[in-house]
Amino acid sequence: MILSYRWLLVAIGALMTCVAVGAMFSLAVFLDPMAAATGWSRTGISSAMTLDFLAMGIASFAWGAASDRFGPRPVVLAGSALLGLGLVLASRATSLLEFQLTYGVLVGVASGAFFAPLISATTMWFNTHRSLAVSLVSAGVGVAPMTISPFARWLISAYDWQFAMLMIGIGAWVLLIPAGMLVRRPTAAVPPTAAAADATAAPESAGDGGMSVAAAFRSPQFIVLTATFALCCSAHWGPIFHMVSYAMICGIPAMAAVSIYSVEGLAGLGGRLLLGILADRFGVKRVLVAGLLVQALAIGSYLFVSRLGEFYALAVVFGTAYGGVMPLYAVLAREYFGQQIMGTVLGAATMVSCIGMAFGPWAGGWVFDNLGTYAWLYIGSFAVAFGAVLIALAFPPQPSRTMRLQTA
């Protein structure tokens, strides 16, 4: 029963992250149609995504702490109801300020209710293959550009942006609320399975001994984790959010430009699986540093592409890298700090990372509105991405790895 439910929870988590994150990040597809229909500036519309990230970051900390205390189910159900409400209200907005408040605040707060609680719940059910399980849950983020974004683009083409956003909000209610009812955490410790004897088994970290939240926040592990997380997200979210617009400026048709975004998402899905398996085998830190380096090089390479085939090829590399590294921060949080405070710690790290995420979309909009080109967005993002690589090299040894060395 435990074996079957834990993989069901992985599927539920993937679905919920796909819908929640896909609904929020689909604003990239709405950017051009909304600017054309309303006359609102790209900077103004992009600022809604900046508010999304800031609101999601602050809310992630609160949602993560609430999940530790009350369990993941009430948290994801509240987030599901609020997400649909935010999208429905945003679709009815008649001014840029009204849109920024509904989409930028309500949707952002709602989106913060899913990642940390679902990842924390998943790690409770897995004593083995933990990196793979976490990667599969976060794979929903990679599936989102292949599902929600093309669906939004089709609705916009067939109707208009307001109807499209309304339908996505209603769809969020229909899919997320029933799924949220199935989320639960184990009532007792999950016993190891027969697979515990294999080489991928992940021993409990030293953090399970009872580290306090205050001690965790003061630790060098938390400082390095959050700094790397923040720079990583700051580096890639500007290029991701403005990818469709950049491709269209290069002469790529609208639907083909959206398909590049979808290819990135598909590659991100594969990257989550690939890097999750590699992290179980070779260690999280090594795989994270390698993935961050590939991400930095891919971002810089966008300065030299202009054709559809080139965009597709680079999207595979970029998507694999940024998609693959994202779940690894949660695995590191679990191994450094243990299960009891994981939701709070991961929520706090996510809050800091969201500040980095928030800067990218706004910066890209400002760069284009003022300079008429996205070149400086990619140059700046490359520099930030390389900074994430350097900081990641400073990660202290993981408690689980130290314990193995001491007992060897």
Give 53-73 pLDDT, tens digit per residue: 788 888 888 888 888 888 889
- Residue range 261-271: average pLDDT? 80
Mean pLDDT check: name the lowest of 40-54, 188-202, 216-230, 264-278: 188-202
More confident residue, 307 or 269: 307
The domain ranges of the chain are 2-185+211-396
Main-chain phi, psi angles of 128, to 5 degrees: -130, 160
pLDDT tops 70 at residue 208: no
- The pTM assigned to this predicted structure is 0.67
pLDDT of 2: 53
Q: What is the pLDDT of residues 172-190, one digit of tens each?
A: 999 999 999 998 877 655 5
Integer-rounded Cα radius of gyration of the chain: 20
Mean pLDDT check: name the lowest of 99-103, 112-116, 194-198, 354-358: 194-198
Tell me which of 1.20.1250.20, 3.20.20.10, 2.40.50.140, 3.40.50.20 is the CATH number of domain 2-185+211-396.
1.20.1250.20
113-127: b (≥16 Cβ within 10 Å) or e = bbbbbbbbbbbbbbb
Two tokens at 67? 């999940």
Calculate ∠ Cα 116-7-152, nearest 5°: 60
User: How would residue 405 be classed by pLDDT, with cut points 50, 70 and 90?
Assistant: very low
Mean pLDDT check: name the lowest of 1-5, 9-13, 354-358, 392-396: 1-5
Which residues have CB under 8 Å from 362's CB, separation 6+?
A: 43, 46, 47, 49, 50
User: How would residue 142 be classed by pLDDT, with cut points 50, 70 and 90?
Assistant: low
